[in-house]
């Protein structure tokens, strides 16, 4: 399939303002009217600002282009959090265990874990890699090590200091778990060991250069816990974050503020409860009933998003992401071992119809796995138009007429909405998609381990595009890459982050994946966070441009 000439997309900023023309006459007869107009102007400006806050941040290395739109009658930024409040936030995934290093899916437990634990680095609300327990980091001239300097004054919840020895113990534990934990194997494939230089300095020694180390250190699987609690971390976690662990049930984790946290302004509530409510409609109803204070609304809940946008007691924060709704394909399983069949699947999907009729137009159709930002090629968004006849032709060429494909999906949420719609569209092209529902903690690991030929889910971005490339080469491509794909991916991994060299390599890798698909990208997914208008900090949550399960540590609740 010929590739279009690579293009580019300029970032777009949308600004909304409102005003009324006022008279400049100052006669006594008009003073009262002018005063009223000024008050009305001020009221309009306040309401417009509240209903249309938006920002676009254009950043280079280690960033995403990010923006947040906030709607709501009250401006959460002007509210004073109550330090004695309890915040209740809901996500779709139940808390299986509490040890971040052994989590099977890298982003699933962010909300549970980042209240208790700090990483050395993090991803801020605009997609930038930012310091947390690390004050700074430096790559060696030979590119075979990174030196990390720790901040001072941080302690674990058991009172022990966070020093180079404890951090090196955590990184050493991650390396020991690497062979048994696919996510760590993917992230740390170039790491050799972690060394203590002095009390505040750790050196990460590499087998081969790894430009993405600062992004890898932000991984939710590399959060730092007390070495004294390594043996019980899954049930009684001891971390270094702004809240300490209190209890866990099958559908709820409870936390309380840790008063010795090194950044005392972060924890604004006395207690936080994270609830697991798998069904999206049930989460929306819980928010309306006041049973929870906030949650993620996926784009299949577009009617609820519109409803909350018009509710003066609620706020809606929209964040663009690099997340793509997609069907992953195991290229080692027949009939998906034929690239013609995989192209046929891409032609069989009507992306525009799915976006418009199923997702309220909130999910932008795309044919590429890099929907925006680094690696994105504008002309590839429409590389596969809806063409069932072309799909049938490709199946015939491959000798796979009437192909049948087994796929797993997560029954709730966006995956649950898309899977049956995809099944109907593929049937029009003579493809029998046989669906099996699974729970969210098991569906992605099952596909990654080769347990299913296809998975209807989302392409998860990461702290840097190079880590997304790693996933395409390893975790999310159980059929394995071709030699050409490996070479293109390696070029993207070797390029210094944020450089023109990296951008060129990412675009070449992305273009190859469109021409030789290992999946079916469908549409680019923004995050919509809905919350009570009493909740502060929703627009500023770390990881919110990456994951729907985000870091809620900075939220507050006004009385």
Strands 454-459 and 314-329: antiparallel
- Other CB atoms within 10 Å distance of the CB of residue 61: 16
Of 121, 124, 92, 126, nearest to 109 by C-alpha is 92
Beta strand pairing status for 243-248 and 134-139?
unpaired
Chain-centre distance of CA 491, in angstroms?
A: 24
Average pLDDT, stretch 106-114?
Answer: 90
Q: What is the pLDDT of residue 72?
A: 57
- DSSP per-residue string spanning 32-78: HHHHHHHHHHHHHHHHHHHH-B--EE---TT---EE-EEEESS-GGG
Q: pLDDT tens across 149-194, in order?
A: 999 999 999 999 999 999 999 999 999 999 998 889 989 999 999 9
Q: Is 112 helix (H, G, I), strand (E, B) or coil?
A: helix
Identify the bridge partners of residue 435 per DSSP, sorted by sequence position. Answer: 407
How many angstroms separate the CA atoms of 457 and 479, rounded? 17
Cα(508)–Cα(502) distance, integer angstroms: 10
Q: Mapped to the 3 state alphabet, what secondary structure does 145-187 carry?
A: EEEEEECCCCECCCCCECCHHHHHHHHHHHHHHHHHCHHHHHH
**Taking residues 37-57, what's their average pLDDT?**
35
What is the band of 74 on the pLDDT scale with cuts at 50, 70, 90? low
Average of pLDDT values for 5-9? Answer: 32
Largest separation between any pair of C-alpha atoms in the chain: 88
What tokens does 368 get? 């590429």
Predicted local distance difference test score (pLDDT) of residue 77? 63
Kindly state the helix (H) or strand (E) to which residue 534 belongs, with its residue range.
none
Phi and psi angles of residue 215, each rounded to the nearest 5 degrees, phi first: -75, -40
Q: What is the pLDDT of residue 12?
A: 30
C-alpha distance from residue 51 to each of 63, 72, 125 (Å): 26, 6, 20
Tens of pLDDT, residue by residue over 261-289, are 999 999 999 999 999 999 999 999 999 99
- Per-residue pLDDT band for 107 (boundaries 50, 70, 90) equals confident
SS3 label, residue 269: coil
Instruction: Give the pLDDT band of residue 30 (cuts 50, 70, 90).
Output: very low
Is residue 523 within 8 Å of 363, Cβ to Cβ? yes
Q: What is the pLDDT of residue 261?
A: 98
Q: Is the CB of residue 180 less than 8 Å from the CB of residue 435?
A: no
pLDDT at residue 54 in the model: 33
pLDDT of residue 48: 32
* Coil, helix or strand at residue 475: coil
**In this predicted structure, what is the pLDDT of residue 43?**
35
Q: Where are the alpha helices (DSSP H) in 267-406?
A: 280-288, 302-309, 339-348, 351-353, 388-397
pLDDT at 69: 62
Rounded-to-5 percentages of helix, strand, coil across the chain: 35, 25, 45
What's the CA dihedral at 434, 440, 442, 446 to 10 degrees? 40
- Tens digit of pLDDT for each residue in 452-476? 999 999 998 888 899 999 999 999 9
Res 534: pLDDT: 97
What proportion of the chain, given as a percentage, has pLDDT over 90? 77
Q: Could you tell me the pTM of the whole model?
A: 0.85
What is the overall mean pLDDT for the chain? 87
- Segment 384-392 shows an average pLDDT of 97
Task: Provide the pLDDT confidence category of residue 53 given band limits of 50, 70 and 90.
Answer: very low
Q: By C-alpha distance, which of 156, 344, 274, 328 is closest to 551?
A: 274
Identify the pLDDT of residue 65: 33
Choice among 65-74, 245-254, 480-489, 547-556 with the minimum mean pLDDT: 65-74
Least confident of 77-86, 103-112, 503-512, 534-543: 103-112
Q: What is the mean pLDDT of residues 536-541?
A: 97
Q: How confident is the model at residue 498 (pLDDT cuts 50, 70, 90)?
A: confident
């Amino acid at each position: 399939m010929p590739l279009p000439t690579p293009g580019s997309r300029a970032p777009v900023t949308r600004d909304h303002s409102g005003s009324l023309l006022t008279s400049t006459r100052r006669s006594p007869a008009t003073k009262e009217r002018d005063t009223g107009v000024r008050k009305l102007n001020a009221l309009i400006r306040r309401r417009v600002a509240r209903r249309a806050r938006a920002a676009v941040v254009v950043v280079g290395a280690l960033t995403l282009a990010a923006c947040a739109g906030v709607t709501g009658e009250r401006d959460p930024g002007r509210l004073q959090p109550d330090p004695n409040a309890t915040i209740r936030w809901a996500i779709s995934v139940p808390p299986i265990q509490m040890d971040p290093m052994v989590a099977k899916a890298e982003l699933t437990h962010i909300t549970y874990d980042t209240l208790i634990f700090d990483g050395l680095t993090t991803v801020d609300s605009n997609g930038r890699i930012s310091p947390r327990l690390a004050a700074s980091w430096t790559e060696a001239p030979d590119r075979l090590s990174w030196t990390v300097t720790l901040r001072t004054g941080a302690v674990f919840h058991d009172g022990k200091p966070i020093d180079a020895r404890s951090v090196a113990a955590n990184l050493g534990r991650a390396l020991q778990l690497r062979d048994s934990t696919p996510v760590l194997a993917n992230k740390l494939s170039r790491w050799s060991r972690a060394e203590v230089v002095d009390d505040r300095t750790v050196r990460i020694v590499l087998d081969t250069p790894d430009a993405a180390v600062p992004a890898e250190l932000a991984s939710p699987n590399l959060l730092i816990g007390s070495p004294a609690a390594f043996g019980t971390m899954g049930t009684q976690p001891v971390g270094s974050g702004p809240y300490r662990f209190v209890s866990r049930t099958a559908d709820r984790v409870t936390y309380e503020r840790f008063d010795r946290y090194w950044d005392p302004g972060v924890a604004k509530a006395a207690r936080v409860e994270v609830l697991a409510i798998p069904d999206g409609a049930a989460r929306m109803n819980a928010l309306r009933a006041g049973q929870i204070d906030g949650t993620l609304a996926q784009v299949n809940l577009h009617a609820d998003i519109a409803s909350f946008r018009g509710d003066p007691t609620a706020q809606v924060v929209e964040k663009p992401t690099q997340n793509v709704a997609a069907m992953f394909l195991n290229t080692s399983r027949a009939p998906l071992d034929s690239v013609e069949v995989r192209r046929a699947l891409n032609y069989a999907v009507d992306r525009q119809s799915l976006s418009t009729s199923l997702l309220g137009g909130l999910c932008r159709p795309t044919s590429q796995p890099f929907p925006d930002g680094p690696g994105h090629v504008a002309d590839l968004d429409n590389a596969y138009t809806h063409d069932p006849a072309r799909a049938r032709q490709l199946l015939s060429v491959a000798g796979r007429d009437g192909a049948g494909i087994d796929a797993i999906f997560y029954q709730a949420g966006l995956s649950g909405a898309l899977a049956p719609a995809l099944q109907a569209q593929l049937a029009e092209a003579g493809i029998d998609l046989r669906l099996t529902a699974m729970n969210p903690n098991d569906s992605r690991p099952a596909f990654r381990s080769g347990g299913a030929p296809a998975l209807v889910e989302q392409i998860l971005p990461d702290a840097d595009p190079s880590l997304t490339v790693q996933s395409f080469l390893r975790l999310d491509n159980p059929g394995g890459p071709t030699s050409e794909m490996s070479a293109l991916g390696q070029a993207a991994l070797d390029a210094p982050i944020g450089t023109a060299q990296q951008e060129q390599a990412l675009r070449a890798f992305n273009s190859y994946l469109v021409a030789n698909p290992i999946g079916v990208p469908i549409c680019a997914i923004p995050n919509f966070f809905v919350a009570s208008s009493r909740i502060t900090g929703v627009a500023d949550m770390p990881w919110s441009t990456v994951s729907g399960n985000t870091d809620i540590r900075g939220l507050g609740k006004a009385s």
